[in-house]
A and B are shown apart, each in its own frame.
Chain A
Amino acid sequence: MLVKAITGSKKYWAWLIFLLLIIGSGFSCYLWQLNKGLTITGLSRDVSWGLYISQFTFLVGVAASAVMVVLPYYLHNVKDFGRITVLGEFLAVAALIMCLLFVIVDVGKPMRILNMIFYPTPRSMFFWDMIALNGYLLLNIIAGWHALEAEYKDVPPPAWTKILVYISIPWAVSIHTVTAFLYAGLPGRHYWLTAIMAARFLASAFASGPALLILLCYIIRRFSRFDPGREAIQKLAAIVTYATIVSAFFIGLEFFTAFYSQVPAHGIYTLKYLFVGLEGHGRLVPFMWTFVLLIIAALVILLNSSTRRKDGLLQLACAAVFIAMWIEKGIGLVIGGFIPNPFERVVEYVPTLPEIMIALGVWAVGLLVLTLLYKIAVSVKEKAA
Chain B
Amino acid sequence: MKTSRRNFIKAGGVLLVGLTIWPAVKTFAGGNNDLKIAPGADADKKWGLVIDMKKCWPRYQEGCRQCFAACQKAHNIPAIPNKEEEIKWIWTEPFVNAFPEQENEYITAGIKDKPFIVLCNHCENPPCVRVCPTKATFKRQDGIVMMDYHRCIGCRYCMAACPYGARSFNFCDPRPYIKEPNADFPTREKGVVEKCNFCVERIDRGETPACVAACPGGALIFGDLNDPGSEVRRILAERYTIRRKPELGTHPSVFYLI
Contacts and interface: CB of A to CB of B under 8 A. Distances in A.
Contact of A115 (B127, B134, B172, B248): B134
Given A126-B155, A341-B165, A117 B23 contact: yes
Given A187-B163, A188-B127, A344-B96, A264 B101 contact: yes
A265 B153 CA distance: 30
B155 A106 contact: yes
Given A39-B190, A46-B84, A116-B133, 12 more contacts: A43-B171, A108-B153, A109-B191, A115-B153, A120-B24, A124-B130, A124-B132, A126-B131, A130-B133, A187-B248, A188-B245, A343-B98
Contact of A116 (B84, B88, B153, B168): B153
A112 B96 CA distance: 39
Contacts of A186: 127, 131, 160-161, 163
Contacts of B161: 186-188
A30 to B, nearest CB: 13
Interface of B: 20, 23-24, 27-28, 82, 84-86, 88, 93, 96-98, 100-101, 127, 130-136, 151-157, 159-165, 167-173, 190-193, 245, 247-250
A45 B191 contact: no
A56 to B, nearest CB: 11
A127 to B, nearest CB: 6
Q: Quick one: which of B96, B131, B160, B192 has the most chain A CB within 10 A? A: B160
A280 interface: no
A39 B168 CA distance: 13
Interface of A: 36-39, 41, 43-46, 48-49, 103, 106-110, 112-113, 115-127, 130-131, 182, 185-189, 264-265, 337-338, 341-345, 347
A37 B245 contact: no
Contacts of B100: 343-344
A24 B171 CA distance: 24
A125 B131 contact: yes
From A36, A41, A113, A123, residue with most partner B Cβ within 10 Å: A123
Contact of B250 (A119, A130, A187): A187
B171 A39 contact: yes
Nearest to B172: A39
Nearest 10 A-B pairs (CB), nearest first? A108-B154, A188-B163, A108-B191, A44-B84, A126-B133, A37-B190, A39-B172, A342-B165, A343-B97, A39-B171
B160 to A, nearest CB: 6
A38 B171 contact: yes
Nearest to A263: B101
Given A108-B154, A115-B153, A188 B134 contact: no
Contacts of A345: 97
Contacts of A41: 171
B134 A116 contact: yes
Given A44-B84, A108-B192, A120-B27, A127 B169 contact: no
A49 B155 CA distance: 9
Nearest to B150: A112
B205 to A, nearest CB: 28
22 contacts: A37-B190, A38-B154, A38-B171, A44-B85, A45-B85, A108-B154, A108-B191, A112-B153, A115-B136, A117-B20, A117-B24, A119-B23, A123-B130, A124-B130, A126-B155, A131-B24, A187-B248, A189-B160, A189-B163, A343-B165, A344-B100, A347-B84
Contacts of B20: 117
Nearest to A183: B160
Nearest to B168: A45
Given A119-B135, A187-B248, A343-B97, A107 B23 contact: no
A41 B24 CA distance: 33
Instruction: Give the residue among A46, A49, A113, A121 with the most B Cβ atoms within 10 A.
Output: A121
B23 A120 contact: yes
Contact of B160 (A48, A107, A123, A131): A48
A187 B153 contact: no
